[in-house]
Structure 1
Amino acid sequence: MFCFQCEQTALGKGCTKHQGVCGKKDHTAHLQDELTGAMIGLARVMEKEEAPNDEVSRLVMKGLFTTVTNVNFNDPTIKKQVEDLHNLQKAIGGGIRDFDMQELWNANEDIRSLKSLILFGLRGMAAYAYHADVLGYHNEDVNAFFLTALRAIGGEEDMDTLLALVMDTGNVNLQCMAMLDKANTETYGTPEPTEVSMTIEKGPFIIITGHDLHDLYLLLEQTKDKGINIYTHGEMLPTHAYPKLKDYPHLKGNFGTAWQNQQKEFDGVPAPILYTTNCLMPVKDSYSDRVFTTEVVSYPEMVHIGPDKDFTPVIEKALELGGYPEDHKMTGINGGSVLTTGFARGTVLSVADKVVEAVKGGSISHFFLVGGCDGAKPGRNYYTEFVKQTPDDSIVLTLACGKYRFNDLDLGTIAGLPRIMDVGQCNDAYSAIQIALALADAFDCTVNELPLTLVLSWYEQKAVCVLLTLLSLGIKNIYLGPTLPAFVSSNVLNVLVERFGLTPISTPEEDLKKILEK
């Protein structure tokens, strides 16, 4: 096998043995390469078509999403997707024109680097497009771009063409995140600041993890008046801020912390866990009988909830297990027991005048966006220490599961605003971008001229497409860690450093000194 798409890839170079660091077996990794090659083949067959139809768009979205790290470990489901893609290629009349992914992995280092940036960005973008599609929201430009970019990955484009396509990937992902933002807010309301308890009340409960708001809604509907409480986990935390979801009284709180702690936190838990998207780690025996998956998430021998979305098996398991006999208190990494979320652009921009006044009056000296993916690899405590050491007159915006490193800290308030503001999931980088653009407009300057610094952590492909979006907007001097991507060659890195000032993190003390001296 060969895979280097996640931050924790073996030795910082690539997983090449019989199993990846994520737990994926070599035969599954080979199948995912085959699936990617089949999608490139479909893109080739579709080259003369005016636009992809719904069937094509959904197969490509699903295929790209399936290959995101920690989504699908199940060979039969991947084989079925490959068969569907082949059947569609034949039906269109072009024959099977699959691409051999070994051509990419063995290509010139810089070409491989640029194509990998595009491919991994597409995978992250497809996850966002998939969530929007579930709610009935589509973007023809996004769907068409998937095919255009896949053809380029299987083609012979030069460095300049590929570098331009890297930036296009970021630009199109901005459209995709805007679509998902619209889908979520029009369906479930505009997020509002909400305190979320980490205490698990006694009695039956279900843990839901992932990113999909629609799955949570359906689960809440099916568990009404059944005496079962629902607790979010990981990237589901921000769902507590949506008015139409928080209206359900049995949506009680948040269970545990980020995805990489699930094997410890789920160990023997007396409740079922429903996985709705990525962040599925290899399942331990101590809770394997209570894991359920849905949508593209799949794991061998685990019960999968199909398109009918009948969560009866999950509900029955919750009632069978019974939950904790007494209230079970949990805390965050720093000992806090209450989390606050819901500071999306609607909330922050509603008090923009206060923020601008506080900056002009000297009450707020700097804004930090500290967010992204969490992970198990050593070095991520950097983000905890960085936030702890930010000046008392600064504000920390955060998003995605990286916030679990510090979101239970109480850093006080400035001008009536909490110093830590949770903007939401990783796709809510769109909200953070809109906040930055609005502040730049208020101060009649560019985003790069604001007292704003982005300090990002990455793990998988959704973080890649968010980074490409920020670069496509011309945002400079981003700090990135805990390590740089293995798939970025030294020459491509030099281009990113020269054009955008992309900087690897060092220590909290050194980086803060450098930032605040500017």
Structure 2
Amino acid sequence: MFCYQCEQTAGGKGCSGRMGVCGKTSDTAELQDQLTGALIGLAKAVEGNEYKANDATAALVVEGLFATLTNVNFDNADIRKLIDRAEKEKQRLIPGCFSCEASCGKNDDYDMANLWNAPEDVRSLRSLILFGIRGMAAYAYHAVVLGYRDAAIHNFLYKALYAVGMDDWGMEELLPIVLEVGEVNLTCMALLDRANTETFGHPQPTEVTLTVEKRPFIVISGHDLYDLKLLLEQTEGKGINVYTHGEMLPAHAYPELKKYSHLKGNFGTAWQNQQKEFSKLPAPVLFTTNCLMPPKEDYADRVFTTEMVGYPGMRHIGEEKDFSPVIENALKLGGYASDQEFTGINGGHQVMTGFAANTVLSVADMVVDAVKKGDIRHFFLVGGCDGSRPGRNYYTEFVKQTPPDTVVLTLACGKYRFNDLDLGTIGGLPRLMDVGQCNDAYSAIRIALALADAFGCDVNELPLSMVLSWYEQKAVCILLTLLHLGIKNIRLGPVLPAFLSQNVLNYLVEQFGIAPISTPEEDLKDILG
């Protein structure tokens, strides 16, 4: 196997051998490569046959890309089914090519070894495209679940896959597509934002308890708000509480979800702590999207998956979305015998969420006035993915050391490093504001652009600094979107991606000022002067 798509890749270079750091085995990695090659072959078949491609074609590409994200699907049988679907769809698009004896390559799948063994700079750019569209596919998938789709997004996925499979393309052809990933991902995130807010309402500031009450309960993890809504509907009136985990935390802020009284609070901290926190948990856990780690034996019998998530031996809830097995398991286990008071990693007993664009922009005048008066000196966006690398305590210390006249916006699971801290208030607003999931990065972008408009300046002239952490492919496409918008001087950590060649990294430094994090003290001094 070879895989270097996530931040924790072995040795900072790439996972090889029998198993990756994420727990993915070599045969699963090879099947994911085979699936990617089949999707590239499908994209080649779409070229010139766009009129034959339909919603089913697009759905297959989105699902296939999503299944290859880190910590999504470890089930070889699921991946084989996707490969088979890709082959059948390709035959539907170009039936004549499968009876033709000419060797034009039109019906061939792509051999991913060609990518991993390509010249370093070309491999780096093609990897950026591939990993970026894997993240974009996850956002597109969530939007489609709610009935929102955009043909332009799906057409670009074909284009990008085609580019990844072009072995004779160099930096001149690939670099524009890298930046186009960011442009199209902005459209995709805007679509998902509209899907979520039109379906569930605009998020509202909400305090979320970390205490788990005495009674049967279910923990739901991942990102899919619609799965949570269905679970809340099916558990209503059955004496079962529901607790969010990981990236599902911001669900508490949506009016159409928070109206359910048995949506009680949040369990646990960041996703990478699940193997410890789920041990001996007297409740089932439902995974709706990525962030699944290989379950340990002492809780594996209580793990359920749905949507694109899969793991061998785990019980999967299919398209019928009947959560009865999860509900029965919760009632059987019974929950804790008494209320359990848990805390965040800094000892806090509750967290706040719901400071999405509409909330922050509703008080934009107050924020602008506070800046003009000197009450607010600087804004920090400190967010992104969390992970187990020791250097990630940088983000906790950075937020702790931000001066009292600054505001910290955060999003995604990286916030679990510090979201239970009480930083006080400034100008009537909390100094620490959770914008939402990584899926909600569009909200943070809207806030930044609106502030720039209010001050009549470029976004890079704002008193705003972005200090981001990355782990997997959704972080890649978000970074590319920020670059597409021309946002500069982003600090990125805990380490830079292994798939960036030195020349590509130099280009990003020269054009956008991207820099690795150093220490909280040095970075704060450099930012604030």
TM-score of the aligned structures, taking structure 1 as reference length = 0.99
Q: Which residue pairs with 2:149 in the alignment?
A: 138
Corresponding residue for residue 77 of structure 1:
78
Specify which of 245, 249, 258 is matched with residue 233 of structure 1: 245
1:129 maps onto 2:130 in alignment = no
> Counterparts of 2:268 and 2:92 in 1: how far apart (Å)?
47
Q: Which residue among 294, 300, 304 is the counterpart of 2:316?
A: 304
Is the CA contact (8 Å cut-off) linking 1:8 and 1:21 kept in structure 2?
A: yes
AA aligned opposite 1:344: A
Which of 162, 183, 203 aligns to 2:174? It is: 162
Which residue type is aligned with residue 80 of structure 1? K
State the partner residue of 1:28: 28
Aligned partners of 2:151 and 2:401: how far apart in 1? 45
String of CA shifts for 1:194-219, please: whole Å, max 9, x gaps: 00000000010000000000000000
Does 1:173 pair with 2:185?
Answer: yes
Q: Tell me if 1:353 matches 2:365.
A: yes
Aligned residues of 1:290 and 1:317 also touching (Cα < 8 A) = yes
AA partner of residue 220 (structure 1): L
* Structure 1 residue identity aligned to 2:4: F
User: Does residue 254 in structure 1 map to residue 266 in structure 2?
Assistant: yes
Task: State the percentage of identical aligned residues.
Answer: 69
- Provide the secondary structure at the position in 1 that maps to 2:492: strand
**Is 1:17 aligned with 2:17?**
yes
2:54 is matched with which residue?
53
Q: Does structure 1 residue 479 correspond to structure 2 residue 491? A: yes
Decide whether the 8 Å contact of 1:481 with 1:505 is kept in 2: yes
CA distance in structure 1 between the partners assigned to 2:280 and 2:27 by the alignment:
30
1:49 Cα shift? 2.2
CA deviation digits over 1:159-211, x for unaligned, max 9? 02211111000000000000000000000000000000000000100000000
- Once the two structures are superposed, the pairs formed by residues 261-300 of structure 1 within 5 Å of their partners are 261-300=273-312
Give SS of 1:274's match: strand
The letter of the residue matching 1:284 is: K
Match of 1:191 among 199, 203, 206: 203
Deviation at 1:157, TM superposition (A): 1.9
Aligned-partner SS, 2:352: strand
Q: Distance in 2 between matches of 1:498 and 1:214?
A: 42
Aligned residue in 2 for 1:43: 43
Aligned pair count reads: 517
Equivalent position amino acid for 1:100 in 2: D
Aligned partners of 2:267 and 2:239: how far apart in 1? Answer: 18
Aligned equivalent of 1:67: 68
Distance in 1 (CA, whole Å) between partners of 2:504 and 2:450 is 31
**Are the equivalent residues in 1 in contact too, given 2:244–2:265 (CA < 8 A)?**
yes
Structural mapping, 1:340-419, within 5 Å:
340-419=352-431
- Residue aligned with 2:138, SS: helix
Could you give the per-residue CA deviations for residues 60-110 of structure 1, whole angstroms, max 9, x where no partner exists? 000000000000000000001000100111111244420000000000000
C-alpha displacement of 1:260? 0.2
Name the residue aligned to 1:515.
527
How many angstroms does 1:337 deviate by? 0.8
| Contact 1:45–1:97 (Cα < 8 Å) also in 2 | no
RMSD across aligned positions (CA): 0.6
> Aligned equivalents of 2:271 and 2:208: distance in 1?
18
Q: Shift of residue 222 of structure 1?
A: 0.3
**Secondary structure, counterpart of 1:60 in structure 2:** helix
- Tell me, in whole angstroms, the C-alpha distance in 2 between the residues paired with 1:332 and 1:407: 8
Note if contact 1:220-1:251 (Cα within 8 Å) is conserved in structure 2: yes
**Residue identity opposite 2:70 in structure 1:** T
C-alpha contact 1:258 1:402 (8 A) present in aligned 2: yes
After TM superposition, list the pairs within 5 Å mapping 1:446-457 onto structure 2: 446-457=458-469
Counterpart of 1:100 in structure 2 is 111
One-letter identity of the residue aligned with 1:121: G
Per-residue deviation, 1:17: 1.1
CA distance in 2, matches of 1:372, 1:312: 34
Q: Match of 2:292, SS?
A: coil
Q: Is the 8 A contact 2:204 2:359 kept in 1?
A: yes
AA aligned opposite 2:335: G
Deviations 1:424-479 (A, max 9, x none): 00021100000000000000000000000000000000000000000010000000
Indicate conservation of the 8 Å contact 1:200/1:253, yes or no: yes
3-state SS in 2 of match to 1:226: coil
The residue matched to 2:391 in structure 1 has which SS?
Answer: coil
Aligned mates of 1:446, 1:480 — CA distance in 2? 21
| Segment drifting more, 251-260 vs 46-55 | 46-55
Query: Does the 8 A contact of 1:210 with 1:233 survive in 2?
Result: yes
C-alpha separation in 1, matches of 2:500 and 2:318: 38
Residue 123 of structure 2 is aligned to residue 112 of structure 1: yes
- In 1, distance between residues paired with 2:92 and 2:187? 31
Does the 8 A contact of 1:480 with 1:504 survive in 2? yes
Q: For 1:131 and 1:99, how far apart are their aligned partners in 2?
A: 27
Query: In the alignment, is residue 209 of structure 1 matched against residue 210 of structure 2?
Result: no
1:421 and 1:97 map into 2 onto residues whose CA distance is 50
Deviations 1:328-379 (A, max 9, x none): 1111010001010000000000000000000000000000000000001110
Q: CA deviation at 1:515?
A: 0.5
2:284 touches 2:330 (CA, 8 Å); kept in 1?
A: yes
SS of aligned partner of 1:48? coil
Partner-residue secondary structure (3-state), 1:379: helix
Match of 2:212 among 177, 200, 204: 200
User: Separation in 2 of the partners of 1:61 and 1:97?
Assistant: 20
SS at match of 1:380: helix
Moved more, 296-305 or 47-56: 47-56
**Distance between the aligned counterparts of 1:75 and 1:82, measured in 2?**
11
Aligned counterpart, 2:103: none
For 2:126 and 2:413, locate their aligned partners in 1 and report how far apart those are by CA, in whole Å.
27
Q: Distance in 1 between matches of 2:439 and 2:79?
A: 25
Alpha-carbon separation, structure 2, partners of 1:173 and 1:91:
29
CA distance in 1, matches of 2:441, 2:175: 23
Q: Secondary structure at the match of 1:35?
A: helix
* Counterpart for residue 493 of structure 1: 505
Instruction: Provide structure 1 residue ranges, at least 5 long, that are not aligned to the other structure.
Output: none
- Counterpart selection for 1:327 from 323, 335, 339: 339
- Tell me, in whole angstroms, the C-alpha distance in 2 between the residues paired with 1:91 and 1:408: 53
* Residue pair 2:49, 2:93 contacting (<8 A) in 1 also: no
The correspondence for 1:421, drawn from 433, 439, 448, is 433
Aligned-partner residue type, residue 455 of structure 2: F
Distance in 2 (CA, whole Å) between partners of 1:337 and 1:157 is: 54
Distance 2:12 2:266 in 1: 33
Q: Secondary structure at the match of 1:262?
A: helix
What secondary structure sits across from 1:124 in the alignment? helix
